[in-house]
Amino acid sequence: MPVFTAPDFDNHEQVVFGSDAETGLRCIVAIHNTALGPALGGCRMRDYATEDDALTDALRLSRGMTYKAAIAGIPYGGGKAVILGDPAVVKTPRLLRAFGRFIDSLGGRYITAEDVGTTVGDMDIVRQKTAYARGISDGSGNPSPATAYGVYMAIRAAVQYGMGRTDLSGIRIAVQGLGNVGYALCRFLNEEGARLFVADIRPETVNRAVDEFGAEAVPPDQILGLEVDVFSPCALGAVINDFTIGMLKAGIIAGGANNQLAEPRHGEELNRRRILYAPDYVANAGGVIDVASEGPGYSQEKVLHRVEAIGQTMKEIFIRAEAEKLPTSTVADRMAEDIIHKAGAETIAA
């Protein structure tokens, strides 16, 4: 399994493979960049088809975390952990404690938190073996509400910029994925009067959204091609790819999923098609802002106030993209890279 020649290797500072024979732990930690501070990023647990798939996920997600932390203005770099295995089958307290020991061995270069396949309760167990775990139950807790609130701010900014509307009343929004973030997002959107279309692989969750928010249920294989104003991907990544991009009928894409573009060129194609794209790592930065705020004096109210700035950042990206005739994804990357490079230059000078 090559690392340096892997397609998604992006001059990562460190990629570490960990295992524990007694518990069956197999994990990968990718530390992308620490110019702004120690790497911060969640731990994802999935039954990956191959080890290469797990490595790809770790590399892509850790890079995204670097850019996300930079543009969110928090003093952290980007990292990500992945644990190989079906969480419903192999996840145990012993395995999580082994993972905690592994994270502790990195000496604070990487700080973990929950992600897909892990929970706040899991982080409580990991924290038993390392101080480098965030989002624990007596700390900031579940970051999903903050993530959802940031996506909500991004959607409002996109609708205002792209449609000239200052509210979401009657705006048709298709939400793909009703996990912790997607479901919380629906609550925010419903409160402002948006018309919701929802899809998820779990029928019981869809039914709950229909009952609670008056949403319209849509088969998962049809949600992406609906005639709506906003498509909000809140499931797994790479949803915008060669196969799906021609199906899109929404004028705006703004969601909580990471790495929504399968490749950078898909951002260029969205721009060519005049689809306004809210870059994912800007829109979903509320969770990392929440986790980064954990500690003495933590206040969810203060966190949500900081998360509101995502809307203004998004507007700046839209304005600059139009002025420079560039994809919004390219503009966001350049803004983040400017911050990272400046920090790196200051470190070298010191």
How many CB atoms are closer than 10 A to CB 58?
28
Q: Which two tokens stand for residue 20?
A: 């524990």
Active site annotation includes 80: yes
Cβ neighbors of 31 (< 8 A, separation 6 or more) are 12, 13, 14, 15, 16, 39, 62, 77, 78, 79, 109, 110
Angle at 140 between CA 86 and CA 148, to 5 degrees: 70
Catalytic residue among 80, 91, 129, 342: 80
Catalytic residues: 80
